[in-house]
Structure 1
Amino acid sequence: MYMEQAAVAAIFIGTIGALVFSHWRAANIFSAALLCLFALQISTVQTSLEKAVNPGVVTLLALMLASRALERTSLLKLFARHALEKNETRTLIKLTGLSALASSFLNNTAVVAALLRPIKNQNKVPASKLLIPLSYAAILGGTTTLIGTSTNMVVNSFWMDTGNPSLSFFAFFPVGIALLGCGLVVMLLNRYMLPTIHVREEQKQYFVDIKVMPESPLVGKSISDNHLRNLNSFFLVEIIRRGQSIAPVRPTHIIEAEDRLVFSGEINHIEELQTLPGVKLFAEHSGLMSDNLVEVVLASNSGLIGKTLKSAGFRAMFDAAVVGLKRNGLSVPGKLGEIILKEGDNLLLAAGRDFRSRKNLDKHFILVTDVVVEQPLSLKANWGVIGGFSLVMVATICQWVSLLQGLVFFIAACLATKVVKSAELKRLFPFDLWIIITAALTMADAMISSGLSATLAESLHSTFSEQSVWFAFLGILLVTVVLTELVTNNAAAALMFPLAISLAESFSVNPLSFVMAVAFGASASFLSPYGYQTNLLVFNTGGYKFIDFVRYGLPLTIVYISITALLVPYFFPF
């Protein structure tokens, strides 16, 4: 038994060391640990398979897949469009509030990813003043509910694996809401510590022509009232009205039926223009608007040079319609279909089925790349997805169905209505996270069955024997906080859980208080860009330095630990 404990301890320490000091992927490290357990016959493949289909683990995977449908809705993008204004304080309050609220019910990484582009592309407030608070607010919001963060779901899967019923949807709420409220205040007061960084990156700007249909609700309202100046990825260059150009476009200009609006923006995000009510892109007139576009450059020997798309019979010639045009970064006046083409023009094409088989492509074009453009959901589909997910949450909270059952039906409905595609879910399946949790659950089982957890707990118990159990609780919390900054939140939770359970048992107290210390401690990633995925997202985008996270996150970390240390024992008594 002693040799087995020593082997498990070596694997445990080796796993932590590899996570901290190596550049290997966490999934590879945990896989290696799992193979070591198999090789030494400490654990079996059957045990790991049982852990892999733990109801808590499967629920987490289902939730991450279901969140894909919610990502496709325009709710977050529309809110972000209205939240961004020139007043830095008001913008910060709106964005952090939105991020926290959304992260209570959605995967917080998906929330930050959805808001990243609108913040990056606006020029009202430097993005560096908003992105770290956005990430921290998402982390804090995620602590309020069971599904708000993968950390809570991971801890719940471990809790269920020990034979306990699933934690309730709002089990984390009393402590989480206090952390959220105090955290937002600290971030707001500390906002002057954020750097001002102007990040410029080369974007593929295209000129896109859309037509305002007579029934459009945009008609009769000004540019400002229609929020056409607040688009995330496009700028309104000019209006073509009855053959005449209106440029520059002022906020007071009134939209009329049959107006042609010429926008300049990023080709990858054309779906934003499609969300405007009652408009059609040029390609949609030809019935060719697709979610896979082709970018080409007009060759010097092309017979299209000097002609317009209309006069050249472009649609019939290539089975493709032009969605956007780019010419040396300069504005091109006039309707897209009536622009005279020049050598070197970049064209964005919505290609039909026969496009690739046309034998005249090489003569006219140089193929640049295929561009994947996500088609926006219709208004009906938007409300259907939001309503369906809300129904699942209500049914779960009221205990009419389990969360897993509700999510299974929700995913099936999204597949049936083609809101998401099966191929898309296969691509997005969180295989790495599944491997990490499965391996960690197997390791935890080995630590308990070998007696290592009990031995460590007894040693720690003797250390804290002259102190109250609260000090042991605080020790677990602090070690988890440190570990989550060194490795990742899920890895920290997985590694600390078995030790927390054993330590609670050695004191003969309620293990849930120690479990909550692990859950909240693993989410306290405010000092490093590497401990949490949302931090890593904003780190690369905002042009930050490591010290920026330390400077801004240190006061928040101190407040977070203090509140957790006081409130967890109150709501989850020893």
Structure 2
Amino acid sequence: MTFQAIIVIIVLLFLIVSLYTEIVGPTLTFILAVIVLGVTHVLDPSEIIDGFSNEQIAIIIMLLLLGDIYRRTSVLDIFFNSVFKGAKTYKSFTARMMLIVAPMSAFLNNTPLVALMMPYVHTGAQKHKASVSKLMIPLSFAAILGGCTTLIGTSTNLIVNGLVTDQKIIPNLPELSIFDFTAVGLPMLVIGIIYLLTFGQKLLPDNKSVIDKIPEISREYIVEGRIKGNSPLIGKTISEAGLRNLEGLFLFEILRENIRITAVPNDTILLEEDTLLFTGNTQAIADFVKSREGIEIPSVGMFSRKKNTEVLEIVISHNSTLNGKTLKEVNFRAKFDATAIAVHRNGETLAGKIGAVELKSGDAVLLLAGTYFEDRYKDTSDFYLISRVKEFRRLGFWRTTFLVGGTIAVILLSSIGLIKLFNGLLVLLAGLVIFKITRPKDLVKSVDYDLILIIALSLALGTAMIKTGVAEMFAHGIISVFKPFGVIGILTGIYLITAILAAFITNKAAVAVIFPVSLTLALSLKADVMPFILVVAYAAAANFMTPIGYQTNLMVYGPGGYKFRDFLKVGTPLTIIYMLVTITILNFIYF
């Protein structure tokens, strides 16, 4: 074994340990790994940056941009509202959700699709009095199952296609077509949904999310109102002012200079500068903020005069940069175009000056959001949007037709080979800018630069494995273990290794590591190369066992109130089923 091969193996071990333990972030981990490979002359500069010119990376970026455009408009929102309107139970809601999300994720990037669906899922759980943990994993898994049915359904498949065109192990391999994944993906989509609606439902935890953990009686927020100097309520009693029988709101205390009036009598006369404390649910407070007369909310102030404001409920994420800081310290209002109305923490309703409250992970915050909040919150992982009262931007008939029709046209024309997907997406995005369906600055904000770095640098890692012979060494190791079981045994071994790597590092990194190994195995066995390509793609993309292995799993991890073992419990049987179905169908088609 050469010195350079030893370096590559050490780098691989560092990647696995660092990504699993989160010593540093995934992006920095890959940067450090490639720096080591460059400094030790395993890779030259051209090999390091070669991944950034990969066409498939550009396609991934454009698909993410397109999905984000759909998320910003009312096109999908109107559709979802009509679909879920008739759901009578949480199980029927779950079934509808998966039957909608899975086919859509076959043609739209599943990350923005899941992000768009999360508020609807939480609302559905509340409506049907079900734990949100019964719905969030099915949401993520349905998107993954659907994404595995086509080339463009998941970025992992596109990465595999990029490796197919760039690899040097077996020259002149043709590109994968859009429906090469359907033979396994479609049957597994049906099986996966049935599993999640039956046996999987029993395995799903009945956890409470960070919002649901607040007892029902104390899930209400406290909102503080003040009688303004020109208020028509001055001199009126509580009853005369209509403040006793508010729907969803209860006036429980009045602060008057240094006097605290509790159990407020109906005949209490309101005075200027009285502070009224109400307790109520999110919808009641939203209505109160919009329609109050003669009462000012100090935490909102002049912000309420902005056009297109909305009341939102968010929860602070477990890794939020807001943790331990006040809203005033982080300049929340300017940063997100939103101001806090109330904060709720572990069953404790926090009153007083909202801007002075030190936030903690799991805090629920009620916001009054302005026009630009929708654009700005997508760029942060500091909090999750739980529920909202919102009007999406209306595109109008012709712009909606162009967006939806253009998307369908690009998918169909690329699937039959009349145009390249890259060219089609480029023209579509240009048209969306020209017709003012989106703005260039919105597109720039939507780019996931960390994802681009990880993908490009993972390609460089694959090059290093091939160049140093490490991939071939892995191939021989797999052959020695699984050779007695024939080609099917080797495919099973490749699936298991890829799935385990994808579960504990990232699916894209797993593909970069195992893809050259799989091709080398196919070459040494003189077997059809296609099943050896597809088995890597399926094993990496169908990632159900851990929250860290797939981006949509990470997205639902916190809001669902899940523990790491919940994904293992629900995802491991589904992974085994997926492996058995994959190997069986590939064997039937290719051997």
**TM-score (ref. length: structure 1):** 0.72
The residue aligned with 1:157 is 162
Does residue 1:146 correspond to 2:156, yes or no? Answer: no
- Picking from 382, 393, 404, the partner of 1:376 is 393
Does the 8 Å CA contact 1:461/1:507 hold for their aligned counterparts?
no
Instruction: Answer whether contact 1:457 1:499 (CA < 8 A) is retained.
Output: yes
Determine whether 1:494 maps to 2:512. Answer: yes
- Per-residue CA deviation, residues 342-363 of structure 1 (Å, 9 max, x unaligned), is 46373543548xxx9xxxxxxx
Task: Indicate the residue corresponding to 1:12 in structure 2.
Answer: 12
8 Å Cα contact 2:210-2:561 kept in structure 1: no
CA distance in 2, matches of 1:160, 1:69: 29
2:347 paired residue number: none
Distance in 2, matches of 1:117 and 1:166, equals: 38
Matches within 5 A, 1:216-235: none
Deviation, 1:117, is 0.5
Structure 1 residue 547, shift from structure 2 partner: 2.9
Cα deviation digits, residues 458-505 of structure 1 (max 9, x gap)? 343344444312211110001111111111222222221111111211
C-alpha displacement of 1:541: 0.6
Q: Whole-Å Cα distance in 1 between the matches of residues 443 and 77 of structure 2?
A: 22
Deviation at 1:24, TM superposition (A): 1.8
Deviation larger for 398-407 or 113-122: 113-122
> How far off is 1:28 after superposition?
1.2
1:425/1:203 CA distance change after superposition, 3 Å:
farther
User: Cα–Cα, structure 1 residues 548 and 20, in superposed 2: closer, same or farther, change >3 Å?
Assistant: closer
Contact 2:222–2:278 (Cα < 8 Å) also in 1? no
Aligned to 2:543, the other structure's residue is in SS state coil
2:2 aligns with 2
Mapping for residues 445-524 of structure 1, pairs under 5 Å? 445-524=463-542
- Contact 1:151–1:523 under 8 Å retained in 2: yes
After TM superposition, what 4+ stretches of structure 1 lie above 6 angstroms from structure 2? 202-207, 332-335, 366-370
Note the C-alpha offset of 1:204.
8.2
Per the alignment, residue 119 of structure 1 pairs with 121
Matched, 1:83 2:38: no
> Is 1:105–1:147's contact at 8 Å kept on the other side of the alignment?
yes
Cα distance in structure 1, aligned partners of 2:369 and 2:297: 20
**5+ long unaligned stretches in structure 1:** 208-243, 250-262, 265-299, 308-325, 357-365
Task: Return the alpha-carbon distance in structure 1 between the equivalents of residues 101 and 144 of structure 2.
Answer: 9
1:196 to 196, 203, 206: 206
CA distance in 1, matches of 2:97, 2:290: 36
Code of the aligned partner of 2:76: L
Aligned AA (1:377): R
Q: CA distance change for structure 1 residues 500 and 132 in 2, over 3 Å: closer, same or farther?
A: same
Measure how far apart 1:563 and its partner are: 0.3
- Contact kept in structure 2, 1:327 and 1:344, CA below 8 Å: no
Give the whole-Å Cα distance in 2 for the aligned partners of 1:474 and 1:184.
Answer: 23
What per-residue deviation string (whole Å, max 9, x for no partner) do you get for residues 59-113 of structure 1? Answer: 2222222222122233433343342633233212101111101111111121111
In structure 2, distance between residues paired with 1:19 and 1:389: 35
Question: Partner residue of 2:175?
Answer: 166
- Give 2:486's aligned amino acid: S
2: CA distance between counterparts of 1:20 and 1:62? 29
Of 401-410 and 427-436, more deviation after overlay is shown by 427-436
What SS is found at the alignment partner of 1:145?
coil
- 1:407 aligned partner: 425
| Equivalent residue in structure 1 for 2:548, among 524, 530, 536 | 530
The correspondence of residues 178-257 of structure 1 with structure 2, limited to 5 A, is: 178-190=187-199, 191-199=201-209, 201=211
Give the 3-state SS of the residue equivalent to 1:468 in structure 2: helix
Corresponding residue for residue 291 of structure 1: none
Q: Is the CA contact (8 Å cut-off) linking 2:16 and 2:504 kept in structure 1?
A: no
SS of equivalent to 2:180: coil
Pairing 1:291-306 to 2, within 5 Å after superposition: none
Cα distance between partner residues in 1 of 2:70 and 2:96: 20
Equivalent residue, structure 2, for 1:346: 300
2:384 maps to what in 1?
A: none
Q: Deviations over 1:404-443 (max 9, x none)?
A: 0001111111222232222222222121122122212112
Match of 1:425 among 443, 446, 467: 443
1:563 & 1:484 partners in 2: Cα distance? 19
Show the counterpart of 2:21. Answer: 21
- Contact 1:70 / 1:386 at 8 angstroms: preserved in 2? no
Of the structure 1 ranges 118-127 and 143-152, higher mean CA displacement relative to structure 2 is found in 118-127
Give me the CA root mean square deviation: 3.4
CA gap 1:556/1:458 in 2 versus in 1, 3 angstroms:
closer
Q: Secondary structure at the residue paired with 2:548?
A: coil
Pair 1:248–1:395, CA change in 2 (3 A): farther
In the alignment, the residues of structure 1 paired with residue 279 and residue 425 of structure 2 have an alpha-carbon distance, to the nearest angstrom, of 48
Are residues 351 and 140 of structure 1, via their aligned partners in 2, closer, same or farther at CA, if it must alter by over 3 Å? Answer: same
Task: Structure 2: state its 5+ residue gaps.
Answer: 212-218, 225-241, 250-256, 258-270, 308-333, 335-352, 356-367, 375-391
Q: Name the SS of the counterpart of 2:150 in structure 1.
A: coil
Question: Structure 1 residue aligned with 2:557, among 535, 539, 543?
Answer: 539
**8 Å Cα contact 1:461-1:506 kept in structure 2:** no
Q: Secondary structure at the match of 1:24?
A: coil
Change (3 A) 1:342 1:56: closer
Report whether the alignment pairs 1:416 with 2:434: yes
Q: 1:6: how far off?
A: 2.3
1:50 aligns with 2:71: no
Greater alpha carbon shift after TM alignment, 376-385 vs 512-521? 376-385
2:209/2:558 contact within 8 Å kept: no
Amino acid in the other structure paired with 2:156: T
> Does structure 1 retain, via aligned residues, the 8 Å contact 2:98–2:139?
yes
- Judged with a 3 Å threshold, the aligned counterparts in structure 2 of structure 1 residues 6 and 198 are, in CA distance, closer, same or farther, namely closer
Q: Structure 1: how far apart are the matches of 2:30 and 2:272?
A: 61
Q: Report if aligned partners of 1:69, 1:414 keep a CA contact under 8 Å in 2.
A: no
For residues 205 and 398 of structure 1, do their structure 2 counterparts lie closer, same or farther at Cα, with a shift above 3 Å needed? farther
Q: Is the 8 A contact 1:478 1:521 kept in 2?
A: yes
For 1:268-322, what per-residue CA distance to the aligned partner results, in whole angstroms no more than 9, with x for missing partners? xxxxxxxxxxxxxxxxxxxxxxxxxxxxxxxx9xxxx979xxxxxxxxxxxxxxx
**Other structure's SS at 2:304 match:** strand
In 2, the alpha carbon distance for the partners of 1:509 and 1:396 equals 29
CA distance 1:456–1:306, shift in 2 (3 Å): same
- Count, aligned residues: 456
**Is 438-447 or 80-89 further displaced after alignment?**
80-89
- How far apart, in 2, do the equivalents of 1:21 and 1:367 lie? 36
- CA offset at residue 334 of structure 1? 9.6
Change (3 A) 1:19 1:338: closer
**Within 1, Cα distance between the matches of 2:161 and 2:80?**
32
Could you tell which deviates more after superposition, 143-152 or 420-429?
Answer: 420-429
1:280-359 → structure 2 map (5 Å cutoff): 329=280, 339-342=293-296, 344=298, 346-347=300-301, 348-351=303-306
Aligned-partner Cα distance in 2 for 1:334–1:519: 52
Point out the more displaced range, 386-395 or 157-166. Answer: 157-166
1:35 aligns with 2:40: no
Q: Is the 8 A contact 1:77 1:118 kept in 2?
A: no
TM-score (norm 2): 0.70
Residue in structure 2 matching 1:395, options 398, 409, 413:
413
AA aligned opposite 1:6: I
Hey, what's the Cα distance between the residues in 2 that align with 1:335 and 1:442?
Answer: 54
What is the CA distance between 1:385 and its match in structure 2? 1.3
Contact 2:55 2:162 in 1 (8 A): yes
Identity of paired residues, percent? 29
Are 1:557 and 2:575 an aligned pair? yes
